[in-house]
Every structure is written in structure tokens, then in C-alpha cells.
Structure 1
Amino acid sequence: MIDRIQTWVFRAPTPAPVATSFGVMRDRPAVFVKLTDRDGGWGWGEIFANWPAAGAEHRARLLHEDMADLVLDHPAEDLFARLTAATRIRAIQCGEQGPFAQVIAGLDTAAADMAARRAGLPLARHLSGMAAPSVPAYASGIAVARAAEILPGLREAGLHAAKVKVGFDPEADARHLTQAASLMQGGRLMADANQAWDVPTALRALDQADALGLTWLEEPLPADAPAADWAALTDAATPLAAGENVTGPGFARLIANGHVTYIQPDVAKWGGVTGNLEVARAALAQGRTYCPHFLGGGIGLHASAHLLAAAGGPGLLELDTNENPLRDAFGAPVEDGAWHLSDMPGLGIDRLPEEIAPFETLALDSHH
């Protein structure tokens, strides 16, 4: 039975704002959660907190003030399914299905970490005896206007796959994207529009993507666009990617309709380890590629690496290149373009790094 919930909120300043087509991150937040059971077992998870700007503290308080009664004195097993059902009416009542799902995702990851620790196995091997010891990685979070200054250094560091953010000024994006493609010759280049376009704009972007040989174009349309809109894009040669803004049954539809090749759930945003592994295996069974989305702190990134290793397939691990001490303090074991998993039990994270303490804004503790 779970005996204690501890949650920490952090905000680290950014040297430069992180811009997407829909908004700007002016600091880097993170919400880390630790579950402890009556036998002294424990595990770490991370709750999505990037958006809205005030989201991090809200998620922490949502967990402790509105959900702790559903967690304490309950088993860690089957936590994802149980909490999803138990919070359904609460989430509908306040119209906050997303925040509830994000909190559940972090709790599920903590429960999975706890179970792997109890088994004495790294999380990836606890999930699959066939888990790979390393997974290929790609650099992300790169504004297309800055690609020319950033991509050469990444290639020198051994990362030969990268994703740039587009969806700003169409003419400037096209010019910068062409330059980025020339710098990634012999590697792989992807572009992420962050839901910025309508169908005609996306079709024009796909014409350029086809000419440049992009590996994928990510979220060219809003995640809730009709299936017919997504179908209108599938005559292009460039595969589509999506999933970070999909939840629950939406993944079954995303996989089944065949419009999207690269399926990208986010472990901190929906599903945790349980939900993401189910999506990954369903995607692979239908010939799609599982590529975990992630743009947060160190715990979620390590969980994403373990999930990709356990699921297998040709997917890539997303590595945000923007400075973020709430991620970097946990270590990034990347060598020759691959993330090498630890042999330590669970996620391989024993405690929060001391270096992030100055960025703490809130700490909550619920227990019996």
C-alpha cells in the first residue's frame, strides 16, 4: 500500500526563451513525484508541467489536495487504470481532464519505478527481457532560424539526427529549413510545426519537405483535426508524426487510420509507463514507429529512454538541446548518437540532484 506522496516543483530560468508556434516558455518548470509504500519501497515519476505557464504548481496541488485520497492506502499495482476510472467524474466536473491525466501519468511512472526496484532490475529489463542496452537519439527543440548555428556543433558531438521547430513565418521557415537540410546531409532532419497550420498550408510545407527528404513532419495540423484533414496530407512522400497531444482511445484511432507513421506519446503527459508501453506495442504491431515525445525534466527523459528500449523498433529518443538544469543534472549518458541505459534498478535515479535545489518553488508531502 502507498503510504506517502512527496512532490517537488522547480522552475529554472532560461538563458533564452524557448519558442514554439503557439507560445513561448520563459522558464523551465518540472514537477517530480516520489511514492513510498508501507514496506519502504519507493519510486520516482514526473508530471507534465510545460503549459500553461502556471501549470507546475497547479499539478502539484491537484495531486495533493484533490487526488491524495485516491492514492494513499491503495496499492501501487494497476494504478493507471484505477486512477483513470476514479478521477473521471472529478475531471469532468472541473473540465480538467488533461491535468488529471498528467498527474496520473507521473504517479504511474513512479509506481513502475518502484516495481522495477523491487525486482532488482532496470525498468527497461523489468518491462521486457529483450530490452536493448541503448537507444538511438535525436536532437530537438531547435528553432529553425537558429539551425545554422546549432546543427554543426551537434554533428561534431555525434548526433546526426535533429528536429527543428517551424510554424512561424512561412517564407523565412522555408529558407532556414533548406539551409538546415544542407547541414544535415548524410544524417536525418525532421521538422515540427506544433499544430500551427491548416490543410493548404501543411500541403505547401509537405512539398518542401518532400524536396528536402525530411524524415518526418510533426504535427502539421491540430491534434483534434478531422481524420479527413490528416488523410489529405498522406499523398506526400514525407511521413507524418504526432501523438504528444493525443490521449486514451485517441491513440487507437491514430494508429488504425494509417495517416501517421511516427507515434509519439509523452510519458509525463498521458499514460505514464503503463499507457505509453501499450501504445508503443500497438503501434509496432501495426507497422508504425514508436518515438517517445519528451521536453521536460530528467526523470521523464530517463523513463522515455527505458520505454523505447523495452518497446524496441526503429524509434529515436528525443533529446531537447535547450539548456535545462532540471534535465541535465540527472545525467545524459549519450555517446555516438545513442543513449546508454544504466544497469541500476528502476530508472537508476536514487535522489533529486543537489544542484537543482535553488530552483525549488514548492514542496508538498501527504502521508498517513
Structure 2
Amino acid sequence: MTEGQRTASITRIEAHAFRVPIKAPVATSFGVMRDRPAVFVRIEDSDGCFGWGEVFANWPAAGAEHRVALLERDIAGLVLGQSAADPEAFFRRLCALTRIRAVQCGEQGPFDQVIAGLDIALWDLVARRAGRPLRHMLREGAPGAVPTYASGIAIDAADALIPAARDAGFGAFKVKVGFDQGDAARLLALKERLPATTVLCADANQAWDLPAALAFVQALRGAGLGWLEEPLPVFARPEDWAALTRAADMPLAGGENIVGLAGFEAALMAGSLTVVQPDVVKWGGISGCFAVAKRALAQGRRYCPHFLGGGIGLAASGAVLAAAGGDGLLEVDVNPNPLRSAFEGPGGALGGGEWRAREAPGLGIEVLPEALGRYRTASCECR
């Protein structure tokens, strides 16, 4: 590292919450998104170098504005004046400093999410300072393109969304299930209508108990699903996961709701998850999720990062996947969302079933797109 990298400190933090009205709600088994939120965060150091990150804000419905207030009132004071040189040390320190606060209010998730966004921003800053794309800061020679799959597709909307996604170049799709007992039959009928080469996955979003999950995997036996995601809640008993693993003939996937390296280590040791899916804006940022990716791949698992947010988080997810390697796919929500699509170009490009990174330093994002200004609902600036 240069002398500047060792001595520069964080002197400014901005955070901005956005909400975009949508015509068609995005349905999951546990709830419905009636608008598209995002929180984008910018940090700047004493040399004027900066970086961008994103904070998870999909849930609860009022989460975006809360995350901005949490950053401003509880976390910024722990960040300002700290070294901007070592993102991993920064991540560990901030997790330790906020642990009691998070326990005191029972809000570990929001603290984790704000820390994840700050970690992404610091990695972007450090890579920008070095003049290198973020993926190359993680692994020299990491490829500039990674394969993608289309997601955010509720089973009842699949006949409309999948053809449009195929026209956009996607060849793999993930359909949301877990709404009612007819989902298995609808998914089988959908599979029969698609070309045989199509990769089709299903996501239950933790909807089922063990009997319901067993009924689903038995109904889909032989269908050749790419994977079945979160068929049980993350807090389900290990013996339930083991029973489902024995019964299923498709890979089981999960990780967006697992927290901490210890949590992922336990999940990997249990052996049920073939596809490991941490979310870079929900827990861990770059520091945590890249560590999970390397551990998962070393144990013969598949790393496919979860993501359903804005354009900064998508670019960060793509950078981690490119650096991790393996045969993973990048999740791309195909529902309309300006908070994602406005960053295409600066943050990377989608097309032909791939996400292609820019060769610019960091994540390649200099400023928030001007067109997003009308969707802003809250902001803070801390110095």
C-alpha cells in the first residue's frame, strides 16, 4: 500500500433513500413489494477519494428511510475519522462496535445491512484509489463477464415475464413458488412449455414446513430443476433440512438469510446446501461475501450470489462472482426497476445472458444518475 492508503481517513458519509412506484407488485410467498426501494451510500476520505455502496432496503416496507436514519444517528460516528485503507479490518471493527447496540434494540439485521453498504463503498474507494476494477482488487485476472439468470418471476407471472426475458438473452430463470398447493403442478406445466435446454429454478422464500417441502420435491421428482431455493425457513431444525436433502433429487439452495461467517460455516458443515447464496447488501458486503464464496467453492459447493435491489449492489455482486470463479450465475431481477437499470453503462452492462463489468476503477460508478432524483425520499450527510 502507498503512504496515502495508510493515512487517509473517512471524512464524509452520504446516504440516500429512494422509492419507485410500480404498476405490478412483486409478489413473494411472505409478502408483496408495492414499490421498489433502495439506499445508496457514498463515503469519502481525507484525500477526496470516494466510493459507492448499497444497503438492503426491501423489507420491511418502511426499511429504506430507517436505514438512512440508522446510519446517520447510530453508525456514522463510529466510521468518521477511521482509516480508509483496509476494508476487511474496517468490516470486522464495525461489526464488533455495533454488536451491543444491535442486541439492545433487537435489530441485528438493519445494522448488518448498513455495515454491508459501507463495506462495499470502502472497497470501491480502495479500488478506485488503486486505479483498478474492484474484481481485480479481489483476484488479479478475474474475468470481465459472468453468466446471469432472470429472477423476480412469480409463478403466475411466468408466462408473461419469461418470454420477455428470453428475448433479452436470458437462458436460465428462477420462478417464485410457495403461494398455494397448486404451485407444483403449475411449475411442471411451465417446464413442459419451455425448450428442453432451459434452466429452470424455483424459490419458495422459506414458505414451507417439512411436510409441505417434501410434497413439493416429490411432485417435482425427475423434472430436472436447476435448484430449489429456501424450501424451509433458515431457522428450521437441522434434521428437517437433512430429511429434505435425502428426499430431493434437485440441488437445494439458500443463504440470503444466513448471517455471519459462523452461520455459513454451520450451513456448509450441515451439507444440505449445494448452492450457496449470500446477499452482498444484506450481510457481509464484499468482505464477508467474498470469504463465504471462497469457502463454499473450496468445499465443492456452487456460489450464486442472491440479489434483488439496485444497480450498485448488482455491480458489487457481479464483481464478487467474477473474482470468486466457479460456475455460478448472477441473479438479475427482470421486473422494471429504474433504481437498477439507471446504472447500466456506468456499473456494467447486461445482454446475451451475461453481465459485463466496466474496466473503470472500482465499480465504475461516479455519481448517482440524475433521473433518480425524483424518487428520493430521505438523505443524510455526516462529516
Same fold (TM over 0.5): yes
Q: AA paired with 2:106? A: G
Q: Is residue 151 of structure 1 aligned with residue 162 of structure 2?
A: yes
Q: Is residue 141 of structure 1 aligned with residue 152 of structure 2?
A: yes
Q: CA contact under 8 A between 1:273 and 1:307: conserved in structure 2?
A: yes
Q: Distance in 1 between matches of 2:216 and 2:374?
A: 43
Distance 1:207 1:130, change over 3 A: farther
Partner of 2:370: 354
Q: Is residue 35 of structure 1 aligned with residue 43 of structure 2?
A: yes
Q: Is residue 336 of structure 1 aligned with residue 347 of structure 2?
A: no
Report Cα offsets for 1:285-309 as digits up to 9, x if no partner.
0000110000011100110000000
Partner of 1:364: 380
After superposing on structure 2, the runs of 4+ consecutive aligned residues of structure 1 that deviate more than 6 Å are none
Q: Distance in 2 between matches of 1:356 and 1:208?
A: 44
Q: Distance in 1 between matches of 2:320 and 2:233?
A: 26
Q: 194-203 or 124-133: which moved more?
A: 124-133
Q: Distance in 1 between matches of 2:191 and 2:375?
A: 37
How far apart are 1:184 and its partner, in Å?
4.5
TM-score (norm 2): 0.94
Q: Distance in 1 between matches of 2:198 and 2:24?
A: 27
Q: Distance in 1 between matches of 2:159 and 2:44?
A: 47
How far apart are 1:355 and its partner, in Å?
1.0
How far apart are 1:261 and its partner, in Å?
0.4
Note the 1:50-65 alignment, pairs <5 A: 50-65=58-73
Distance 1:202 1:184, change over 3 A: farther
How far apart are 1:85 and its partner, in Å?
0.3
User: Tell me, what secondary structure is at the counterpart of 1:211?
Assistant: coil
User: Tell me, what secondary structure is at the counterpart of 1:268?
Assistant: coil
Q: AA paired with 1:91? A: A
Partner of 1:45: 53
Report Cα offsets for 1:331-363 as digits up to 9, x if no partner.
161222111111011001010001111100111
User: Tell me, what secondary structure is at the counterpart of 1:162?
Assistant: strand
Given the alignment, which residue of 205, 211, 228 partners 2:239? 228
Q: CA contact under 8 A between 2:116 and 2:280: conserved in structure 1?
A: yes
Q: Distance in 2 between matches of 1:101 and 1:112?
A: 16
Q: CA contact under 8 A between 1:83 and 1:104: conserved in structure 2?
A: yes
Report Cα offsets for 1:246-280 as digits up to 9, x if no partner.
01011111112111000000000000000000000
Q: Is residue 17 of structure 1 aligned with residue 25 of structure 2?
A: yes
Q: CA contact under 8 A between 1:277 and 1:311: conserved in structure 2?
A: yes
Q: Is residue 323 of structure 1 aligned with residue 336 of structure 2?
A: yes
Given the alignment, which residue of 302, 324, 327 partners 1:311? 324
Partner of 2:177: 166
User: Tell me, what secondary structure is at the counterpart of 1:246?
Assistant: coil
Q: Distance in 1 between matches of 2:215 and 2:221?
A: 10
Partner of 1:123: 134
Q: CA contact under 8 A between 2:12 and 2:45: conserved in structure 1?
A: yes
Partner of 1:300: 313
Report Cα offsets for 1:10-35 as digits up to 9, x if no partner.
00001111110000101101000000
Q: CA contact under 8 A between 2:188 and 2:220: conserved in structure 1?
A: no
Q: Distance in 2 between matches of 1:72 and 1:159?
A: 42
Partner of 1:75: 83
Q: Distance in 1 between matches of 2:176 and 2:195?
A: 15
Partner of 1:2: 10
How far apart are 1:204 and its partner, in Å?
1.2
TM-score (norm 1): 0.98
Q: CA contact under 8 A between 1:147 and 1:176: conserved in structure 2?
A: no
Q: Distance in 1 between matches of 2:95 and 2:254?
A: 23
Q: Distance in 2 between matches of 1:216 and 1:139?
A: 14
Q: AA paired with 1:361? A: T
Report Cα offsets for 1:118-170 as digits up to 9, x if no partner.
11111001110131111000000001111122222222322110000000011
Gapped runs of 5+ residues in structure 2? 1-8
Given the alignment, which residue of 280, 284, 290 partners 2:303? 290
How far apart are 1:178 and its partner, in Å?
1.5
How far apart are 1:230 and its partner, in Å?
0.6
Partner of 1:179: 189
Report Cα offsets for 1:214-253 as digits up to 9, x if no partner.
0100000001111111101112210100000001011111
Q: Is residue 93 of structure 1 aligned with residue 109 of structure 2?
A: no
Q: Distance in 1 between matches of 2:190 and 2:278?
A: 26
Gapped runs of 5+ residues in structure 1? none
Q: Distance in 1 between matches of 2:276 and 2:63?
A: 25
Q: Distance in 2 between matches of 1:125 and 1:356?
A: 29
Q: Distance in 1 between matches of 2:285 and 2:270?
A: 24
Q: Give % identity.
A: 58
Distance 1:53 1:184, change over 3 A: farther
Distance 1:88 1:184, change over 3 A: farther
Q: CA contact under 8 A between 1:267 and 1:273: conserved in structure 2?
A: yes
Report the count of equivalent residues: 366
Q: 72-81 or 174-183: which moved more?
A: 174-183
Q: CA contact under 8 A between 1:209 and 1:217: conserved in structure 2?
A: no
Report Cα offsets for 1:57-101 as digits up to 9, x if no partner.
111100110111100001132211000000011111111111100
